[in-house]
Amino acid sequence: MPRKHNEIDRRGFLKTTAAGVGAAALGNKLAHAAEERPATQPAESQEVIWRNRNPEMEYRRLGRTQFMVSRIVHGWGGNESLWRRILGTGVNYFDTALGYGNLEVELKPFLARYRDRLWVTSKVSDITGYTKIDEGVQELYRKAMKAFLGKEEGHLLALHKEAVAKQKATGEKPDLRAVGQRIARLYAEMLDQSLERMGIECVDCYMMHGLEIPWMFDCLDIWETYAKAHKAGKVKHFGFSVHQHHKEVLAATVEANARGPWKIDLIMPGVNPESFDQLKPELAALKKQDVGIVAMKTSGIKNRPVDGREQRFTDLMGGREYNEWERGKLWMLHLTEDLIDACIAAMSNVEEMEKDTRLPSVKLTAAAERELRAMVKLEMAGACHLCGSCTTACPEHIAVTDMIRYHAYVHQYNEKALARELYAKAGYDPSRLCNQCGACADVCPSDVRISEILAELPLAVRA
């Protein structure tokens, strides 16, 4: 039976109706929530933490973690020899995840030598997404929806949207305690696995990977499990990465931080010049709470070439050329009004490393800044912004948005190995499942060529 808010106990749910409500409804609450808990004061009185400092690199205080993070951090890619060179540039943050193939294990000998020079994040994989979700979690989530909505069939995101609508209308929320308890158990188990795989005793931040369900912040068992691991010295900070449904998840994060006991110190959102303006209120509210923000997928997903303008930008930059990935990162590093602390780069060879690690110290003249803004906006106009609507609409339950992201990993992010890995994990060819009904195209606000992308993907990941 669904319960009214004021009947819900502390462990299960919260006194307010914040998390899970559509982001638009939260607009006015954001600033207020950010003001309620001025986390900056105690944090700023503490000393900052330096690791692997190099005068050639730019650093930024990573919110209340107090860690001075290199403005470019390293994600997927490379080998020990490249990692040593990356360390030599002053980069001091390496990101991995239990779900990134064997990467944690490959990092083990490297971490045995250089752990003290690095900030290390890893992630509990695939338990809080609408499509990437542990089967047990999914089953419990559907049960909770059955009790709340009287139905459990269909795409999880569609059920979630229906539940949010009911919450808005009635003030009730689904009872997700059993879901939270399972996630909490998985978090503890996977944290132990990750520590063992990396051969380290403590990870700086163990994140929820690809968080999509904002009601997770109502599940205090997850927080309590993290707090226990923190006390045991296994993890220093809580955080998450988010690939889609950003607005709703980030708004729920602001609320959870304001309300406590949650203390979400670090987030890795997929944010790019196209989505930045839309997410700015939530990012600004998080910044006010002194949360560290490391941007992923900073190049966005391009839609059209900007032939002709590259040369103008090159001229303005004194003859130095910047490709589309670099332009995206330049934008995020220099034109986001200090909301973004660092950008992640998947550096897979020395050439990429040399280019990426120089981006934080690039100086943009006013004219170059204007040109960069214009070019990047033009490139991204009408591109996929990972809203997730196509996935919800698909009658064949194809994870359309994820597939579009894998396609971008191949064609735009030079992360083919990651694309291959994730595509193999999905375990199906979307072009075979697709019945060409066109429902995804009907709901797409950006006229993305979805069918073509799905048809290209199997070959693209194998090439």
**Site for ligand SF4, rule CB under 6 A:** 384-390, 393-396, 398, 400-401, 404, 434-440, 443-446, 448, 450-451
Residue 437: CB atoms within 10 A of its CB come to: 12
- Distance in Å, CB of 443 to ligand SF4, minimum: 6
Which residues, in sequence order, are CB contacts of 13 under 8 Å at separation 6+? Answer: 3, 5, 173, 175, 218
Dmax over CA atoms of the chain, in Å, equals 66
- Distance in Å, CB of 390 to ligand SF4, minimum: 3
- Distance in Å, CB of 255 to ligand SF4, minimum: 25
- Distance in Å, CB of 430 to ligand SF4, minimum: 7
**What's 329-341 look like in SS3?**
HHHHHHCCCCCCC
Q: Which is nearer to ligand SF4, 333 or 439 (by Cβ)?
A: 439
Q: Which is nearer to ligand SF4, 21 or 439 (by Cβ)?
A: 439
275 in Cβ contact with 300 (< 8 Å)? yes
Burial 14-29, CB ≥16 within 10 A → b, else e? beebbbbbbbeebeeb
Can you tell me whether residue 179 is helix, strand or coil?
helix
- Distance in Å, CB of 275 to ligand SF4, minimum: 10
Q: Which is nearer to ligand SF4, 369 or 396 (by Cβ)?
A: 396
Q: Which is nearer to ligand SF4, 249 or 439 (by Cβ)?
A: 439
Q: Which is nearer to ligand SF4, 333 or 450 (by Cβ)?
A: 450
Q: Using CB atoms within 10 A of its CB, is residue 278 exposed (0-12), middle (13-18) or buried (19+)?
A: middle
Residue 347: name the closest of 434, 451, 418 by CA.
418
* HSE-up (13 A, CA, CB side) for residue 322: 27
- Distance in Å, CB of 412 to ligand SF4, minimum: 14
Long-range CB contacts (< 8 A, 24+ apart) of 229-233?
229/187, 229/188, 229/191, 233/201, 233/202
Q: Which is nearer to ligand SF4, 193 or 303 (by Cβ)?
A: 303
Q: Which is nearer to ligand SF4, 334 or 385 (by Cβ)?
A: 385
- Distance in Å, CB of 125 to ligand SF4, minimum: 21
Rounded to the nearest 10 degrees, what angle do helices 400-411 and 416-426 cross at? 160
- Distance in Å, CB of 301 to ligand SF4, minimum: 8
- Distance in Å, CB of 243 to ligand SF4, minimum: 10
Residue 239, token pair as written in the block: 């955080």
Q: Which is nearer to ligand SF4, 73 or 394 (by Cβ)?
A: 394
Q: Which is nearer to ligand SF4, 207 or 457 (by Cβ)?
A: 457
Consecutive H or E run containing 164: helix 156-170
Residue 161: CB atoms within 10 A of its CB come to: 14
Residue 271: name the closest of 252, 246, 304, 302 by CA.
246
Residue 285 to residue 332: CA distance in whole angstroms: 18
